[in-house]
């Protein structure tokens, strides 16, 4: 079965410090991985994706993610956190069954950046 | 429009009533998805349309839920005999094919009293 896990419900970091939001995946086949951000009372906004190629993927708002096949991880990172990065972050994997393109989401991680 | 549009943004109804939620996808996007997001949870897949047809409805929780996309653009999610457990944010997303990221609307928050 295809799935993703986000082991942390919440991550707290001080403004200016590096941040990491963790995601591990389980797929049968090559993974297609995504990160989305959700601000309060808003829809999901796409940040970045890994399909193939370089293991380090750069995305919107200075975020990047590192694909690690041996550890089946796709952690989201940013070198210097901003207070405005505080939001709910979702990791997702494409369901490879049936060629529907649908995404399977993790439970989400709340990022709190304090001034 | 520029993005996925969902109406209404908020809907409060009473238990047992019928509701319709509308999604207007990005122009030219053939693939359309409905998801449901309960409080504190990640979005859960409900149904996928490719064009006019429901290609995958495996996520619909029961036969009270139904969705249509008659002209391959706008879609309507229909919920009959609503229950309190149906309270959630219903998200719609679209994309051009099935190869890339999904573009989400801001959701319709349904509250069943």
Structure tokens at A56: 């380090």
Q: Which residue has the tokens 């906004």?
A: A45
Q: pLDDT at position A98, please?
A: 77
Residue A104's nearest CA partner among B54, B92, B60, B43 is B43
Ranges of chain A whose pLDDT falls below 50: none
Name the residue among B4, B41, B99 with its Cβ closest to that of A101. B99
Inspect the interface and report whether the beta carbons of A101 and B103 lie closer than 8 Å.
no
Chain B interface mutation, best of A88, A100, A104, highest count of B Cβ atoms under 10 Å: A100
Q: pLDDT at position A50, please?
A: 95
Measured in degrees and rounded to the nearest 5, phi and psi for residue A11 equal: -125, 130
Smallest CA–CA distance, residue A35 to chain B, in Å, is 10
Q: pLDDT at position A99, please?
A: 79
Smallest CA–CA distance, residue A101 to chain B, in Å, is 4
- B112 Cβ neighbours under 8 A, 6+ residues apart: B13, B14, B15, B17, B82, B83, B84, B85, B86, B87
Q: pLDDT at position A70, please?
A: 94
Alpha-carbon gap, residue A2 to A7, rounded angstroms: 16
Chain A interface mutation, best of B102, B106, B107, B108, highest count of A Cβ atoms under 10 Å: B102
Structure tokens at A23: 């995601």
| Strand ranges for B39-87 from DSSP E | 44-50, 53-56, 65-68, 75-79
Task: Chunk chain B into consecutive blocks of 10 residues (it has 113) and report each block's average pLDDT, rounded to whole numbers.
Answer: 91 98 95 95 95 92 96 96 97 87 96 97
Inspect the interface and report whether the beta carbons of A36 and B104 lie closer than 8 Å.
yes
Name the residue among B31, B56, B104 with its Cβ closest to that of A44. B104
Q: pLDDT at position B1, please?
A: 53
Inspect the interface and report whether the beta carbons of B43 and A44 lie closer than 8 Å.
yes
């Amino acid at each position: 079965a295809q799935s993703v896990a986000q082991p942390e419900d919440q991550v707290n970091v001080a403004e200016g410090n590096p941040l990491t939001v963790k995601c591990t995946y389980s797929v049968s086949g090559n993974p297609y991985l995504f990160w989305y951000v959700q601000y309060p009372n808003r829809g999901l906004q796409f940040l970045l994706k890994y399909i193939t190629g370089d293991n380090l993927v750069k995305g919107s708002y200075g975020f990047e993610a590192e694909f690690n096949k041996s550890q089946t991880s796709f952690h989201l990172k940013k070198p210097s956190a901003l207070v405005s990065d505080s939001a709910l972050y979702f990791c997702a994997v494409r369901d490879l069954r049936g060629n529907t393109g649908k995404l399977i989401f993790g439970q989400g991680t709340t990022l709190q950046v304090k001034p | 429009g520029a993005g996925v549009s969902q109406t209404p943004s908020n809907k409060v109804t009473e238990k047992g009533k019928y509701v319709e939620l509308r999604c207007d996808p990005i122009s030219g996007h053939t693939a359309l998805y409905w998801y449901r997001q309960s409080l504190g949870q990640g979005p859960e897949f409900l149904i996928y349309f490719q064009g006019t047809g429901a290609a995958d409805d495996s996520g619909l929780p029961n036969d009270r839920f139904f969705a249509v996309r008659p002209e391959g653009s706008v879609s309507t999610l229909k919920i009959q005999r609503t229950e309190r457990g149906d309270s959630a944010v219903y998200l719609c997303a679209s994309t051009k094919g099935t190869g890339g990221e999904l573009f989400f609307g801001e959701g319709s928050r349904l509250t069943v009293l």
